[in-house]
Amino acid sequence: MLEIKGLTASIGDKPILNGVDLTVPPGEVHAIMGPNGAGKSTLGYVLSGREDYTVTGGTVTFNGINLLDLEPEQRAATGVFLAFQAPVELPGVNNANFLRTALNAIRRAHGESELDAVQFLKLARAETKRLHMPDDMLKRNVNVGFSGGEKKRNEVLQMAILRPKLAILDETDSGLDIDALKIVADGVNALRGPEFSALVITHHQRLLDYLVPHRVHVLANGRILRSGGPELAKELEKSGYAGMIAEAA
C-alpha cells in the first residue's frame, strides 16, 4: 500500500508539488495523467529519492515504511522501481553486469543469497525471451547507442528482472510504436499480483487500452484534481485538461 499525504516538494525555490494526496492499494495499477508541467515526473523522482528535489511537507509511506527517510538504494530495496522517462547511459558498463549487481544488492538487503553469473544469465534470458527482446540487449553497454524505443524496452526488462513491488513508469510509452507499447504493457501486466502496485504516468489514453488501470488521477498544478475509473482517461482524451482545470479553479 502506497500512501501519499499532503506531499509538497520544490526544486530550488520553485514549488512543484502543492499537496498531493494519493493512495494506491496493493494489487492495483493507477494512472497519473495531466498537462505538461503539472509535476508528474517530479512525483516519480520524489518517490524514488532524487536529491535535486526538496520535500517541504507531507508524508509518504509504502507498506508502512516512511520512504522519505530512506536513501534511493534503500527505497529500491523496499521494492520501489522508477522507469525513467530519459534512461541514462553508462559507457563501458555491460547491461547484464549492471543488472546482476543491482539484483544482488537488493537480494542482499533482503538477506537472500546472491546469484552467480550463470544463474543470473538463465533468469535474464528467460525474461528477454518472454518480452520478445534480442539477447544482445544484455551484452550491450547500459543504454549506450540504444534507440529511444530500445531504451524504454530496456527499462521494462530491468523492471521484469528486479521484480519491484511498486513500479513507477514515467511516460515509458512516449515515442513508442504500437508494438513497443504492447511490450511495456505486457511488462507491467506480467508483474500484476496481490502484492504489486504501479503508478503509470502517461499522456495518452492509448497505453491504458493495453494496461487497464484500476484508477485514473489527474494531476495539475501540483495536486490531484480529480480521480476516477478508466473511463476518466477516455473523457480526457475527448475534452482535454483545460476545462477541468478551469472548473476546479
Q: Which residues bind another protein (CB under 8 A)?
A: 48-52, 65, 70-78, 81-82, 84, 87-94, 97-99, 101-103, 105-106, 108-111, 141, 158, 162
Nearest to 196 by CA among 154, 224, 160: 160
Closest approach, Cβ 67 to another protein, in A, equals: 11
Beta carbon of residue 198, minimum distance to another protein (angstroms, whole number) = 16
CA distance 140 to 136: 6
Angle at the Cα of 71 (from 37 to 166), degrees rounded to 5? 65
Integer Cα distance of 249 and 245 in angstroms: 6
Minimum CB distance to another protein, residue 127 (Å): 15
Q: Are 31 and 215 in contact (CB under 8 A)?
A: yes
Nearer to another protein, 75 or 217 (CB): 75
> Smallest gap, in angstroms, from Cβ of residue 5 to another protein?
21
Nearer to another protein by Cβ, of 108 and 130: the residue is 108
Cβ nearer to another protein, comparing 136 with 179: 136
> Quick one: 42 or 205, whose CB is closer to another protein?
42
Please provide residue 128's backbone torsions phi and psi, each rounded to the nearest 5 degrees.
-60, -40
Q: Which is nearer to another protein, 115 or 245 (CB)?
A: 115
Element (H, E) at 29: strand 29-33
Task: Report the nearest approach of another protein to the CB of residue 85 (Å).
Answer: 11
Angle at 97 between CA 92 and CA 179, to 5 degrees: 90
Choice between 144 and 212, CB closer to another protein: 144
- Site of grid cell 547484464: 96
Least spacing, CB of residue 91 vs another protein, in Å: 6
Quick one: 50 or 206, whose CB is closer to another protein?
A: 50
* Largest Cα span, the chain: 58
Shortest CB 73 distance to another protein, Å: 5
Please list the alpha-helical segments (H only) found in the chain: 40-48, 72-77, 95-109, 117-130, 136-139, 148-162, 178-191, 205-210, 231-239, 242-248
